[in-house]
Structure 1
Amino acid sequence: MTISESLAQKVGTKVANRVRRYKRNADMLGKWIGYELGQTAPRMYPQRMYIESTNVCNLRCVMCPTGRREVERKKGYMDINLFKRIVDEMAPHVQATTLHIWGEPLLHPKIFEMIAYCREKGLRSEMSTNATLLSEDKARKILEAGLDVIYLCMDGATKETYESIRRRANFEETQTNIRRFMELRRAMGLSRPQINLQIIQMEKTRDEIDAFLQQWTIPGVDRLNVKPFDSWASQIDEIESLRPKDEESFHIPGHRYACPNLWYHVHIYWNGDLAMCDRDFNLDTPLGNVVEAGGVMRAWRGRLFQELRRRHISGDFSASPCNQCSEWAWWKPTPFGGGQGNRPDNTAALNNPAAAPESGALVGLGDIPVLS
């Protein structure tokens, strides 16, 4: 390649990136305007999509409604053809999709095909896993499929704490799986997926967070994520009791505003049902079905979803689980971004100099505005 060709390529890339930035800002502004105007059938597409590949899990985690057997919906796995129809419709419009909501995605027999299909359609894909099933074969398939972001959940810096929280998991085996995944990514010469090591703030983990950060501040980890405790709208007393005892209650505004989830996100359960957000894990408030409506946007802009938005706009938060939720105050949208609201322990990400230089690793407390 000549100098002029190289220069032209760099200029072209710079221009393309700038165009993408402008388009993203325009899209975010449009979403914010729709939210502020109270559009019950938003003209803009949602910002993010959450797809429940399955609601089956192999663990019995103490802070999770699935692990506690509180999710009463029928168990199942999303049909691959339904998944592809959803991606075909939404890929040109949403910024990203997760492949998990209330289950362990590595249990889905076609999860690698799902990841690859997102890559084929240009859709950023993200996945959270307990990493207990992350064998060498599965790790290699994830890397080959082209996942963009992976959250590896290690709730504890010691065997005793971790196994008391992630019940049925083995501390040493999970650590081995995670380290092997990082080594495979390095050996394959890849920078993706971004590897996030995550711990949830709970009474059981609060004294081990510093040790966790030290333990995983190593090359290969791109981000260390300390996730604020989530009560899942305070629906389960046993989960609420896990909240850190010394956690300062975050400021909740006196005036409750309509939940941004209803305008910015779309949650799709394994059978095509739409949920207002992942806190409605039992679908107390049905909002339509992708298959029955003939598409995601038909359901998302449909009568049931419109009515829920209308209720929120009017100050009626009696729908379940809105009527018990305090996490609504975590997020207030802004014209060109998600907004950080009043989420507890919100801090900006910090550079992590101990991580691999090419990874651009970060240490942070949670990701805003993603509530799932």
Structure 2
Amino acid sequence: MKNNKNMPVNKGNFTSFETEDRINRFEKYRGQGWEKAYARYRKRWNEGPKSLLVPEYPVQVDVEISNKCNLHCPMCFRGKAEFRKKYSGNKLLMKEALFKKILDEIGNKVPALRLSLRGEPTVHPQLLDFIAYSKRTGIGEVSFLTNGSKLDSPYIESLIHAGLDWITISVDGTGTAYEKIRKPLKFNEILDKIKNFRQIKQRLNVNKPVVKIQSIWPAIKENPETYYNTFAPYVDLIAFNPLIDYLANDSPDQILYVENFICPQHYQRLVIGFDGKAIMCTNDDENTVDIGDANTMSVHDIWHGNKLSKIRNIHLKNGFKTIPVCKECFLPRKTAPNETAEVNGRSFKIHNYINRSQNIGD
């Protein structure tokens, strides 16, 4: 089925200053050991949403094992009073029984699993066990995003032995710029951890987990070449993204939207929070739209349920702005290539959100 809908897959994740060789090697290592299945998985991820057909199971399930975080980044939605009020206390970690219930169903059915969303996954004491269990059930690629604070040598080796396939480390800027954002971490310490990660992989003669780092663009815009050259020898891929309005401070009247937008996530991935509540997408930080509960429902039933089907139909009729969280989302928002940067002689455009104030916060 052909359609004229605008479905921005992988929007906001730019590798513009990477070389083609490094991008290809990153993809090669991600698919190592399951090359044909990996190729099918990536094709389904990138091209599947365009068909507007809902697959039997999502291509990826995001299981938020932790809604706790050990940092205080100024631009993060976790600083909003509404979020703190809704998610307070210590019971913000997924229970083992719930995790295994989910994995027992999706193993060998879903190619990719991400173990992070709103919190820091490494604060969960069972993360290593969860990774190993996921691989035993037949998940092809297990990954998570992290601030890197816990990546000492024993933990890195444990991640490798557990079978982790891919790790993304958020490193916003270098030096004091990083330390103003990733409070209370120190830049030299995170750099040493990343260097050590590389050394351990070399010593063990492994390519996985592939290591990607990413930054918000405002933190590196003054000298992106310094950022790139600092990390390129030690990681597999370096990316950046425009500053997303996590704090929802933008005036709705200033937001410009792309035409014929429809969200690809509802055809790609399903998100399950630490408490088992299914989340409409990765950008519904406060889980404002109820679509199901993995404690009492199967992943299959949530994915094909009436609530998520209704959301898909709203998007099909160009009604995404009737859903508040979709109206505020960065995915349907217009960007413009209004900056030019250069890294090691490679010139590229920066696509920023139109009328988006690039204020990181205090």
Normalising by the residue count of structure 2, what TM-score does the alignment of the two structures yield?
Answer: 0.74
- Relative to structure 1, is the Cα distance of residues 343 and 49 closer, same or farther in structure 2, using a 3 angstrom cutoff? farther
Unmatched tracts of structure 1, length 5 or more:
1-15, 36-41, 242-248, 331-341, 353-362, 367-372
Inter-partner Cα distance in structure 2 for 1:180 and 1:69: 37
Unmatched tracts of structure 2, length 5 or more:
1-33, 352-362
Contact 1:61/1:167 (CA < 8 Å) preserved in 2?
yes
Which residue of the partner structure matches residue 133 of structure 1? 150
Which residue of the partner structure matches residue 97 of structure 2? 81
Contact 1:223/1:364 (CA < 8 Å) preserved in 2?
no
Contact 2:337/2:350 (CA < 8 Å) preserved in 1?
no
- Relative to structure 1, is the Cα distance of residues 19 and 280 closer, same or farther in structure 2, using a 3 angstrom cutoff? closer
Alignment match of 1:104 (pick from 115, 120, 125):
120
Instruction: Determine helix, strand or coil for the equivalent of 2:239.
Output: strand
Alignment match of 1:310 (pick from 272, 296, 313):
313
Inter-partner Cα distance in structure 2 for 1:136 and 1:55: 25
- Relative to structure 1, is the Cα distance of residues 226 and 26 closer, same or farther in structure 2, using a 3 angstrom cutoff? closer
Task: State the Cα deviation string for residues 125-146 of structure 1 (Å, max 9, x = none).
Answer: 1111111121222112111111
Alignment match of 2:167 (pick from 131, 146, 150):
150
Contact 2:276/2:293 (CA < 8 Å) preserved in 1?
yes
- Relative to structure 1, is the Cα distance of residues 288 and 20 closer, same or farther in structure 2, using a 3 angstrom cutoff? closer
Matched, 1:115 2:131: yes
The structure richer in strand per residue is 2
Task: State the Cα deviation string for residues 29-69 of structure 1 (Å, max 9, x = none).
Answer: 6654344xxxxxx3432122211110100000122212556
Inter-partner Cα distance in structure 1 for 2:109 and 2:46: 12
Please, what is the CA RMSD of the aligned residues?
A: 3.3
Instruction: Determine helix, strand or coil for the equivalent of 1:183.
Output: helix
Matched, 1:227 2:241: yes
- Relative to structure 1, is the Cα distance of residues 251 and 187 closer, same or farther in structure 2, using a 3 angstrom cutoff? farther
Contact 2:57/2:303 (CA < 8 Å) preserved in 1?
no
What letter is aligned with 1:281? D
What letter is aligned with 1:273? K
Inter-partner Cα distance in structure 1 for 2:148 and 2:196: 11
Kindly state the Cα deviation for residue 111 of structure 1 after the two structures are TM-superposed. Answer: 0.2
Q: Which has the higher contact order (CA 8 A, sep 6+)?
A: 2
Kindly state the Cα deviation for residue 194 of structure 1 after the two structures are TM-superposed. Answer: 0.3
Inter-partner Cα distance in structure 2 for 1:222 and 1:19: 21
What letter is aligned with 1:214? N
Which residue of the partner structure matches residue 54 of structure 1? 66
- Relative to structure 1, is the Cα distance of residues 19 and 231 closer, same or farther in structure 2, using a 3 angstrom cutoff? closer
What letter is aligned with 1:130? N
Give the aligned length: 306
Which residue of the partner structure matches residue 186 of structure 1? 202
**What percentage of residue pairs aligned between the two structures are identical?**
25
Task: State the Cα deviation string for residues 260-316 of structure 1 (Å, max 9, x = none).
Answer: 1112111111111111112111111111111122x1111121122122222222232
